[in-house]
């Protein structure tokens, strides 16, 4: 069979498509639950079916893939489960926008037809994100793909809901919830995004009912005063505590309000008097419950003033009502004034509309009993990395409120509860009931609401493994090994999975949680479409390949530190991929069809001995760093080893052996070269799977090596302690120092690379002299030197370039090599020209007319130009001084 070759240039797109298709068709990543190896499992954080791959996804997928491929190499039985989330609100919004373009609404279709329409959209476009995950090279088991709204997951959701209801942990009741006027649904607390915004603090007089004066109340929302049912003051506040028990009159309405005392009131905020509106503020709701206050809602579900307000304001949107109310207060002389005030505003995490607190009948999960178990499990059973996120996890659980799980939409798991129209009893059932379980009436109606999307995804670690059925996967792979996720869903998802896993599986859902950092732009700003700084991972894959993107993200994935990403960095790692490719091509041109059977520990070559030692160290570092989630250390170790040590030094050093007449030396070097290259590809594979796979597939093998062509199935390289040789490292460091010293002299003094030089070395000791003499031919070859003198008494001429390496003094005679007069004249000419240009730029920057009137970016450009010229001036002056110092 003809020997396969690597293409002249690395074109990642063909390689990626080929191996991605091969792995999926061959079911390379489909494990046997009954197969050998300790289990290692990960469930993919399910992206929304509406989503497209962004850089956070790319980082998350890369890190999970590294872990899965690495643990396969360790002999583990690895399962990585893929899947998507039905994303109730987001998906419904997408389809409703389509209907709006057709001049329709979901109500025109009706519930059943609308759900059919959403499923049609899902089948057509909802799997787009899965194709993008494939582009990243994710080694998931595609045969076990899951969806939070498929039949198996629907069974799990019903089982959990019904069981929690029977345990008294799910209940239905009136409560103040977060309401989105746009999406027309309730939201959980952690589905509300809070951000500071500029606003105002309005000061309003509330007359005392006995006519003895008034109180001034400060509020950010004057329109909600129509729903006030009390005024609160702090009992310790001497200004107002004598009024507790009296009444005030609600302006514009005339309703009498009790004045209550509560330590919750901040005496330093506003005026120290707090209007209490239990139906429209979370904290006021708690005050109202505590003091038995009336709950009066004055806003409907669209954010309009309802029938509970005076007729003048009914039907007005809340923003319009605010304007009218302020005008009326001014007309009645009750408006004191307004101050600027920045405050936190909550917005819907889906449509970004401002959230309105709203009292409504909803379904809730009682969280405190579940939260106690989840808190106790960390870190005893589950460890969070980085550790500082544990404190955040605790704080959320310690201050948790009941979880509102009902949503007023149609796309989602419909709540399995039926109300009897005859007796009013609730029937909660796993299967659809035909009659009321209380009175037997068949006149029952299912609840219109659906469950919060996070309810189904909270079951993900065990529902994806087949629960409630007792499947082989569930028995083998639960608890999962590690969850890799972003910090932004630590509460949405991670904590809830902990609760549900402990409640229904009686074990934690994962042993480790790795919280990865945020991917920002190169200036450290958060990526967003509005600021135009988004780097699209799919664009980067098209331009530079998946491996380059993956390696970039891994290189900067330091635990606890955000990633500052730029396209230039990705392009830089594409050059690294090219470097690997070219190194492999060089090796292929110098390796025989069958690798020689030479024992590695018998090589006498310094280059071979040193690189084999370094390979052992790299194997240890990569294994330890991956296991400890130090992903950046993995990438940086591989980068330094491959680029600097293997390519820049080793491949250059072995050329004389490969091209020489000594067949034994050539065979030993070929064996070492093949060993290092092949094992390095296995080490590289978890980070850069495609290029490593392609190179491995064309490498020749030693006789009897029948290992698979599929690198994804190979074990991690075994250690070779016999190849550790610290003495070779010490000798190599001296050798590299000498070669680098000569190269630096050549560079500093602008000596042409092809110019042959002489070298004199005053050695520090006999051992160093022996090392240099034994590597003399390599020094000549790599440093391009001709005549070499080595000894303890060597002296160099005055006109020499000099360097010191580990106490050994290097001299490169410059007579006949450098034309000092010509070089000094050239430097003087360049310095004069540079000085003239710098004066022009300095004069411009000293001119107030230019600095004050020119665009800021132009001024900054001139400053950068001056700084660059100053740096160049310093370098030229240093070179001139260097030449003058070595002239005779």
Known binding-site residue numbers for ATP: 529
With a CB cutoff of 8 Å and minimum separation 6, the contacts of 494 are 393, 483, 485, 513
- For residue 296, CA distances in Å to 225, 303, 387 come to 11, 15, 45
* Sign of the Cα pseudo-torsion (502, 508, 510, 512, in order): positive
300 in Cβ contact with 356 (< 8 Å): no
- What is the rounded CA–CA span in Å between residue 143 and residue 358? 44
H helical segments located in 27-147: 55-73, 88-101, 106-109, 111-125, 128-135
Candidates 224, 216, 218, 217; CA nearest to 201 is 218
- What is the rounded CA–CA span in Å between residue 728 and residue 612? 10
With a CB cutoff of 8 Å and minimum separation 6, the contacts of 797 are 811, 813, 815, 888
The CA angle 738-739-744, to the nearest 5 degrees, is 95
Query: What one-character DSSP code corresponds to residue 227?
Result: G
- What is the rounded CA–CA span in Å between residue 256 and residue 709? 84
508 in Cβ contact with 479 (< 8 Å): yes
Q: Which residue has the tokens 């009645």?
A: 332
Q: Which residues of 298-320 are buried (b: 16+ CB within 10 A; e: fewer)?
A: bbbbebbbbeebeeebeebebee
Phi, psi of 80 (to 5 degrees): -120, 110
700 in Cβ contact with 593 (< 8 Å): yes
DSSP labels, 289-358: HHHT------B-TTSBB-TTS-GGGTT-BHHHHHHHHHHHHHHTT-EEEEEEEEEEEEEETTT-PBEEEE
- What is the rounded CA–CA span in Å between residue 112 and residue 364? 26
Q: What is the number of residues in the chain?
A: 888
Query: Which two structure tokens, joined as six digits, stand for 239?
Result: 């200004």
Within 13 Å of residue 631, how many CA atoms lie on the same side as its CB? 33
Query: What one-character DSSP code corresponds to residue 148?
Result: T
DSSP labels, 385-412: ESTTHHHHHHHHHHT---EE-EESSSSS
- What is the rounded CA–CA span in Å between residue 161 and residue 430? 8
41 in Cβ contact with 484 (< 8 Å): no
With a CB cutoff of 8 Å and minimum separation 6, the contacts of 163 are 504
- What is the rounded CA–CA span in Å between residue 181 and residue 636? 50
Which residues share a beta bridge with 204?
Answer: 217, 335
- What is the rounded CA–CA span in Å between residue 352 and residue 338? 27
DSSP labels, 424-492: --EEE-SSPPSS-TTT--S-EEE-S-EE-HHHHHTTHHHHTTTTTS--HHHHHH-SEEEEEEEGGGIII
- What is the rounded CA–CA span in Å between residue 124 and residue 252? 55
Query: Counting Cβ atoms within 10 Å, is residue 581 exposed (0-12), middle (13-18) or buried (19+)?
Result: buried
- What is the rounded CA–CA span in Å between residue 734 and residue 779? 11
User: Coil, strand or helix: which one is 514?
Assistant: strand
* Binding residue numbers: 529
With a CB cutoff of 8 Å and minimum separation 6, the contacts of 155 are 468
């Amino acid at each position: 069979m003809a020997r396969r070759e690597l293409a002249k240039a690395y074109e990642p797109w063909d390689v990626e498509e080929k191996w991605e298709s091969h792995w999926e068709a061959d079911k390379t990543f489909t494990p046997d639950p009954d197969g050998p190896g300790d289990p290692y499992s990960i469930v993919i954080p399910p992206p929304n079916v509406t989503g497209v791959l962004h850089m956070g996804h790319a980082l998350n997928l890369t890190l999970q893939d590294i872990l899965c491929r690495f643990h396969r190499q360790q002999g583990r039985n690895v399962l990585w489960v893929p899947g998507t989330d039905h994303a109730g609100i987001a998906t419904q919004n997408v389809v409703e926008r389509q209907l709006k373009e057709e001049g329709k609404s979901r109500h025109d279709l009706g519930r059943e037809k609308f759900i059919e329409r959403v499923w049609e959209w899902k089948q057509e476009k909802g799997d787009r994100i899965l194709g993008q995950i494939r582009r990243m090279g994710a080694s998931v088991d595609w045969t076990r793909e899951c969806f939070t709204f498929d039949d198996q997951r629907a069974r799990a959701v019903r089982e959990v809901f019904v069981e929690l209801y029977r345990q008294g942990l799910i209940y239905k009741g009136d409560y103040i919830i977060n309401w989105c006027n746009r999406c027309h649904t309730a939201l959980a607390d952690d589905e509300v995004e809070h951000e500071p915004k500029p606003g105002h603090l309005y000061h309003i007089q509330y007359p005392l009912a006995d006519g003895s004066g008034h109180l001034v109340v400060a509020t950010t929302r004057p329109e909600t005063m129509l729903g006030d049912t009390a005024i609160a003051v702090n009992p310790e506040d001497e200004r107002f505590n004598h009024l507790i028990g009296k009444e005030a009159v609600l302006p514009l309405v005339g309703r009498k309000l009790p004045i209550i005392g509560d330590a919750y009131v901040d005496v330093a905020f506003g005026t120290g008097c707090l209007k209490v509106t239990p139906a429209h503020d979370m904290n006021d709701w708690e005050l109202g419950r505590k003091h038995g206050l009336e709950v009066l809602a004055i806003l409907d579900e669209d954010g309009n003033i309802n029938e509970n307000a005076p007729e003048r304001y009914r039907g007005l949107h809340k923003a319009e009502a605010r304007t009218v109310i302020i005008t009326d207060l001014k007309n009645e002389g009750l408006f004191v004034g307004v101050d600027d005030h920045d405050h936190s505003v909550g917005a819907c995490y889906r449509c970004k509309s401002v959230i309105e607190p709203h009292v409504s009948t909803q379904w809730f999960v009682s969280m405190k009993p579940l939260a106690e178990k989840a808190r106790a499990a960390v870190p005893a059973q589950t460890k969070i990395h980085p550790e500082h996120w544990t404190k955040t996890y605790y704080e959320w659980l310690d201050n948790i409120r009941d979880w509102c799980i009902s949503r007023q939409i149609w796309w989602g798991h419909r709540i399995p509860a039926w109300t009897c129209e005859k007796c009013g009893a609730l029937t909660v059932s796993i299967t659809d009931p035909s009659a009321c379980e209380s009175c037997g009436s068949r006149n029952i109606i299912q609840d219109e609401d659906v469950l919060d999307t996070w309810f189904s995804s909270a079951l993900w670690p065990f529902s994806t493994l087949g629960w409630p059925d007792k499947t082989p996967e569930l028995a083998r792979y639960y608890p999962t090994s590690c969850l890799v996720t972003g910090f932004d869903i630590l509460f949405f998802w991670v904590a809830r999975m902990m609760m549900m896993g402990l409640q229904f599986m009686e074990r934690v859902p994962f042993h480790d949680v790795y919280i990865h950092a945020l991917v920002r732009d190169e200036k450290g700003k958060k990526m967003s479409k509005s600021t135009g700084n988004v780097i699209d991972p799919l664009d980067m894959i098209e331009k530079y390949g998946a491996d380059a993107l993956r390696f970039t993200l891994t290189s900067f994935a330091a635990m606890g530190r955000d990633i500052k990403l730029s396209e230039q960095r990705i392009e830089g790692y594409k050059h690294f991929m090219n470097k690997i490719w070219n190194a492999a091509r060089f090796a292929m041109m110098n390796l025989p069809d069958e690798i020689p059977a030479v024992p590695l520990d018998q090589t006498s070559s310094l280059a071979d001995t040193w690189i084999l030692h370094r390979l052992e160290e790299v194997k240890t570092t990569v294994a330890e760093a991956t296991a400890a989630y130090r992903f950046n250390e993995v990438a940086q170790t591989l980068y330094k080893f491959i680029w600097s040590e293997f390519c820049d030094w080793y491949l250059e050093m072995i050329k004389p052996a490969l091209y020489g007449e000594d067949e034994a030396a050539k065979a030993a070097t070929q064996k070492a070269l093949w060993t290092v290259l092949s094992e390095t590809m296995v080490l590289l594979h978890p980070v850069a799977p495609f290029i490593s796979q392609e190179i491995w597939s064309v490498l020749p093998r030693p006789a009897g090596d029948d290992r698979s062509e599929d690198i994804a199935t190979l074990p991690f390289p075994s250690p070779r302690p016999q190849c550790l040789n610290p003495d070779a490292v010490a000798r190599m460091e001296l050798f590299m120092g000498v070669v680098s010293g000569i190269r630096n002299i050549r560079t500093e003094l602008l000596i042409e690379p092809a110019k042959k030089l002489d070298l004199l070395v005053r050695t520090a000791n006999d051992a160093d002299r022996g090392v240099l003499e034994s590597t003399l031919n390599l020094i000549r070859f790599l440093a391009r030197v001709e005549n070499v003198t080595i000894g303890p008494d060597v002296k160099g001429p005055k006109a020499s370039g000099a360097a010191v390496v580990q106490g050994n003094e290097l001299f490169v005679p410059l007579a006949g090599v450098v034309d000092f007069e010509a070089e000094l004249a050239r430097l003087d000419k360049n310095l004069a020209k540079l000085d003239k240009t710098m004066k022009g730029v300095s004069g411009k920057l000293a001119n107030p007319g230019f600095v004050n009137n020119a665009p800021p970016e132009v001024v900054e450009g001139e400053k950068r130009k001056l700084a660059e010229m100053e740096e160049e001036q310093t370098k030229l002056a240093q070179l001139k001084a260097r030449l003058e110092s070595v002239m005779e």
